[in-house]
């Protein structure tokens, strides 16, 4: 895997859910790692639903191979939070392609 293409930095977060004293769910995020990545846009669309403009952007982030990233994680790139939709291995433990979706309302 070529290091020069990994010209972006992304932060991977673990999301956990606890309960407040009243029993309401509270989501917290914990930084797992900040890694170098290559970013590629895949597609996206804009629409109007319930009188609100909404946009969805999908990107693929290629990172060096790690065994601890799953679809249960989120990532942050340029102050936008993305849900990880798919984790695909590149080569034989050479890298990972993280397909991620950002929702901006």
pLDDT score of 67 = 94
Cα–Cα distance measured from residue 35 to residue 58, given in angstroms and rounded to the nearest whole number? 19
Beta strands in 1-105 (DSSP E): 8-19, 25-49, 52-64, 73-77, 80-90, 95-104
Q: For the chain, give every domain's residue range.
A: 3-104
> For the segment 27-74, what is each residue's pLDDT rounded down to a tens digit?
888 999 999 999 987 765 555 555 555 556 789 999 999 999 999 999
Residue 12 CB burial class (10 angstroms; 0-12, 13-18, ≥19): buried
Tell me the CATH number of domain 3-104, given options 3.30.70.2190, 3.10.105.10, 3.20.20.30, 2.40.10.270: 2.40.10.270
Q: Please, are residues 101 and 75 in contact by the beta-carbon 8 Å criterion?
A: no
pTM confidence score:
0.77
Least confident stretch, 3-12, 32-41, 49-58, 77-86: 49-58
Task: Read off the pLDDT band of 102 (50, 70, 90).
Answer: confident
Cα–Cα distance measured from residue 71 to residue 81, given in angstroms and rounded to the nearest whole number? 14
């Amino acid at each position: 895997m070529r290091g020069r293409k990994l010209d972006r930095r992304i932060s991977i977060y673990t999301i956990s859910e606890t309960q407040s004293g009243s029993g309401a769910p509270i989501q917290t995020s914990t930084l797992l790692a900040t890694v170098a990545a290559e970013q590629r846009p895949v597609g996206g669309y804009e629409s109007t639903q319930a009188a609100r403009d909404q946009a969805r952007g999908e990107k693929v982030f290629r990172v060096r191979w790690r065994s601890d990233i799953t679809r249960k994680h989120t990532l942050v790139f340029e102050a936008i939070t993305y849900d990880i939709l798919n984790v695909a291995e590149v080569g034989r433990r050479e890298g990972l392609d993280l397909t991620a979706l950002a929702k901006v309302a």
